[in-house]
Structure 1
Amino acid sequence: MDSKLYWVSWALLRSSAPRTLTWFSRGRWVHHTGGGTPARGASCWPRTQAASKTRGSGAGVTVRSKALAKPSSLSPAGGIPPNLDISIFYRGKLFHHEEVGSSRCLLAYQTVDPAIPLDLTWLVQFPSPASLADQKQRRFTEELLQNTGLLLEQRDNKIYAQRLKKCKVFWALSRQLDVGNLSPKLLCRDQETEIFDFKEFCTELRDFRDYRRERSPDFTIFLCFGQRFSKAKPKESKLILVKLVPKFCEYWYEHVLREGASSLNSGSLSLQLSDSFSLFELIEQYNMQLD
């Protein structure tokens, strides 16, 4: 049964309990409806996703990544698999790391909240700041988290972000922060904002491979909750910082670097991609790696 592309498991409970529906793809759980509400301390909902690990001392770091060279996930036919690495930092310290495998996910602190969409497919929960040693930092972080809610969605070869609650969210690409090129980018409440374009990434990657561009394309996105990015203070000083890395982009960037180094060593171009590769070609070859 696991070899089937899709199969569905129904759990018909007693009349007093809700009906549950679980979807599987190639033997892997991909969606669940019905059932209860996640526990307050849970870092991701549903809990049937990969078990978390804790490392380090003091405040544990919740990790839900799967050391993948070739990430796998359910995606629309011919579309970009929606694998997204999400890391949550409190004042520069990593508190949570998770790989999301859904085209829609919500970042929130409270699991029972009217702002959470009913058709949500993946919830990433901010960890509690209770273990922070600094009392003032802990209090301010908690106040911000109580008003935090952000919806991320990947569609039409782009990533969109929508702020759902009162806590303001500012965003920037990593290189903009490194060079101090800061123009305020505020996510408006209840309005979708495009924060990444995969087609633009593809064009820049092709130019980088063909030596028409000195720097590699930037595909790391930072979100700052409750504070603006500033030239005076590094991003690591922010109370709540979230880093997003599309695994599709990471895979092809590393592929181009490997193939480029190989061609330099051998004296001949050995890329499997065509000279004028397109986003469609990247998607096609990427999905072939997942089969």
Structure 2
Amino acid sequence: MSNTGGRRLKQWLMEQIQSGQYSGLQWEDESRIMFRIPWKHAGKQDYNQEVDASIFKAWAVFKGKFKEGDKAEPATWKTRLRCALNKSPDFEEVTERSQLDISEPYKVYRIVPEEEQKQSKTSMMAMSATTISGEGRDMDCSPSEIEDFMKEEEGCSIQASPEYWPQGNINAFPLQQEPLPSGSLGSVWSQMMVSFYYEGKLMHNTVVSHPEGCRISPQQHLGRSAIYSSDSMQSVHFPPVELIEYDRQRYVTRKLLGHLERGVLIRANQEGIFIKRLCQSRVFWSGLVDMGSHYHPIPGKLERDAVVKIFDTGKFLQALQLYQDGHVSAPDPTVTLCFGEELTDPSSAKGKLIIVQISVVNCQHLLDSVNMRRSQPYYNNPSLDVADDVATDQMARIYQDLCSYSGPQRPACYRDNMPITA
């Protein structure tokens, strides 16, 4: 297994220590085998971001994760460097020498000699495959690092915000400003399939059909006002951690769920899927949104209390049209949410503690219909009636309703070319 990333970190960090420009970053011993790195909690009264987060910020800049003008996220910077240190074979934390309860706290790390690394690698290879698959994790941070990050979050002040969708905000839900067209349009585009994964294993899925969407939160969340009632929106809960097989994974997942108490609000309509993050934990997402000529999911991070569009129906229909004509790969009707851990690449989702995937049921049906048509041996014969081959009457009515809808920001429709016809 290559550790070139660790080598780059080692060279970079040694240069930073030698520079002497970061307060508290210094050698711990004369032989320069161990070093101190400042570790002040962001919640401390005398915390100074420019000083106390400077080395973490520098690593984020070096890795291309931050540039001047971006929003400052010192806790994220700190987590990123901590993960890099703990994943690298070149470093080992010396916990007995760390001082975290003093006015200027620091951690101590040791530079691991290459010979010792080779011995450690040999020992790891001797472990059974069962043990590795059960306790090892293909993720950005180890369980202990996630716990450290959650401790960072505990020091942040949380202000209660309205736990409902904004009313009368034209930027939030443009299609709700006018009455929905008659028929089943409103209800069919509000139906979502929600699937829960713990470390890549499917634990539960459910269909959301409430027109106001749903709140996804842990089971222990107790409502104290009418907004939590079933009349307001559908309640969907994370699966119980007792379903997790491994003790360590179960323990850390339970800790993370403790930071998801207020959950997230999810809602779908003809425009797409919208989300509002209420929970304390960070939430990252990947979905198909309007990004010019791109037809692949993009990653993003949710800010607390902001309504964000994470899936664009119009963009999906455009991509579906191009896919039908053989110009692009099949568009993904699914949005991926990752709780507590950064999601830079959807392909890494299977290694995360908690993943929730959401898809508009109607979009999945449309994609299935196109796939069915493409699988036919006479797919390229233009004289065939596509509707007779692939589209049910129900789906045909749905597509007709969508294309005839005259509300604001109507998604582009392709009545003449799409395989679903009236």
- Shorter-chain-normalised TM-score: which range? 0.5 to 0.7
Q: In the TM superposition, what is the alpha-carbon distance from 1:263 to its structure 2 partner? A: 6.8
Per the alignment, residue 207 of structure 1 pairs with: 322
Q: In the TM superposition, what is the alpha-carbon distance from 1:203 to its structure 2 partner? A: 1.5
Asked if structure 2 preserves the Cα contact closer than 8 Å seen for 1:184 and 1:228, the reply is no
Q: In the TM superposition, what is the alpha-carbon distance from 1:208 to its structure 2 partner? A: 1.9
Per the alignment, residue 399 of structure 2 pairs with: 282
Q: In the TM superposition, what is the alpha-carbon distance from 1:195 to its structure 2 partner? A: 0.4
Per the alignment, residue 188 of structure 1 pairs with: 303
Amino acid at match of 1:193: V
Query: Whole-Å Cα distance in 2 between the matches of residues 93 and 254 of structure 1?
Result: 24
Asked if structure 2 preserves the Cα contact closer than 8 Å seen for 1:87 and 1:96, the reply is yes
Query: Whole-Å Cα distance in 2 between the matches of residues 156 and 285 of structure 1?
Result: 8
Per the alignment, residue 142 of structure 1 pairs with: 254
Per the alignment, residue 88 of structure 1 pairs with: 196
The answer to whether structure 1 residue 126 and structure 2 residue 238 are counterparts is yes
- Of 243, 260, 264, which aligns to 2:378? 264
Q: In the TM superposition, what is the alpha-carbon distance from 1:155 to its structure 2 partner? A: 3.2
Per the alignment, residue 105 of structure 1 pairs with: 214
Q: 1:114 to 1:144 in 2, by over 3 A?
A: farther
Q: 1:232 to 1:107 in 2, by over 3 A?
A: closer
Amino acid at match of 1:259: R
Q: 1:102 to 1:257 in 2, by over 3 A?
A: same
Asked if structure 1 preserves the Cα contact closer than 8 Å seen for 2:216 and 2:238, the reply is yes
Q: In the TM superposition, what is the alpha-carbon distance from 1:183 to its structure 2 partner? A: 6.7
Matches within 5 A, 1:216-227: 216-227=330-341
Amino acid at match of 2:312: D
Asked if structure 1 preserves the Cα contact closer than 8 Å seen for 2:349 and 2:355, the reply is yes
Amino acid at match of 2:259: N
Q: 1:231 to 1:191 in 2, by over 3 A?
A: closer
Query: Whole-Å Cα distance in 1 between the matches of residues 264 and 331 of structure 2?
Result: 25
Q: In the TM superposition, what is the alpha-carbon distance from 1:156 to its structure 2 partner? A: 4.9
Amino acid at match of 2:320: L
**TM, length-normalised to structure 1:** 0.60
Per the alignment, residue 279 of structure 2 pairs with: 165
SS at match of 2:328: coil
Query: Whole-Å Cα distance in 1 between the matches of residues 346 and 370 of structure 2?
Result: 35
Query: Whole-Å Cα distance in 1 between the matches of residues 297 and 315 of structure 2?
Result: 20
Q: In the TM superposition, what is the alpha-carbon distance from 1:218 to its structure 2 partner? A: 1.8
Q: In the TM superposition, what is the alpha-carbon distance from 1:167 to its structure 2 partner? A: 1.1
Q: What is the alpha-carbon root mean square deviation over aligned residues?
A: 3.3
Query: Whole-Å Cα distance in 2 between the matches of residues 171 and 221 of structure 1?
Result: 7
Q: Which moved more, 1:191-200 or 1:136-145?
A: 136-145
Q: In the TM superposition, what is the alpha-carbon distance from 1:210 to its structure 2 partner? A: 2.7
Asked if structure 2 preserves the Cα contact closer than 8 Å seen for 1:172 and 1:185, the reply is yes
Which structure dedicates a bigger proportion of its chain to strand? 1
SS at match of 1:111: coil
- Higher Rg of the two aligned structures: 2
Looking at both structures, which has the greater relative contact order when contacts are Cα pairs under 8 Å and sequence separation is at least 6?
A: 1
Asked if structure 2 preserves the Cα contact closer than 8 Å seen for 1:102 and 1:121, the reply is yes
Q: In the TM superposition, what is the alpha-carbon distance from 1:117 to its structure 2 partner? A: 3.3
Amino acid at match of 1:203: Q
Amino acid at match of 2:252: F
Asked if structure 1 preserves the Cα contact closer than 8 Å seen for 2:299 and 2:345, the reply is no
Per-residue Cα deviation, 1:190-239 (whole angstroms, up to 9, x for no partner): 1111001111111111222233x221222111110000124598211111
Asked if structure 2 preserves the Cα contact closer than 8 Å seen for 1:163 and 1:189, the reply is yes
Per-residue Cα deviation, 1:28-85 (whole angstroms, up to 9, x for no partner): xxxxxxxxxxxxxxxxxxxxxxxxxxxxxxxxxxxxxxxxxxxxxxx97333432211
Query: Whole-Å Cα distance in 2 between the matches of residues 159 and 209 of structure 1?
Result: 23
Amino acid at match of 1:161: I
Per-residue Cα deviation, 1:122-171 (whole angstroms, up to 9, x for no partner): 11111211242332221211121122101001235221011111011100
In structure 2, stretches of 5+ residues that fail to align are 1-179, 289-295, 389-395, 404-419
Per-residue Cα deviation, 1:244-287 (whole angstroms, up to 9, x for no partner): 121101111111222333472683342239xxxxx99615389x
Which structure dedicates a bigger proportion of its chain to helix? 2
Query: Whole-Å Cα distance in 1 between the matches of residues 257 and 181 of structure 2?
Result: 33
Asked if structure 2 preserves the Cα contact closer than 8 Å seen for 1:173 and 1:221, the reply is yes
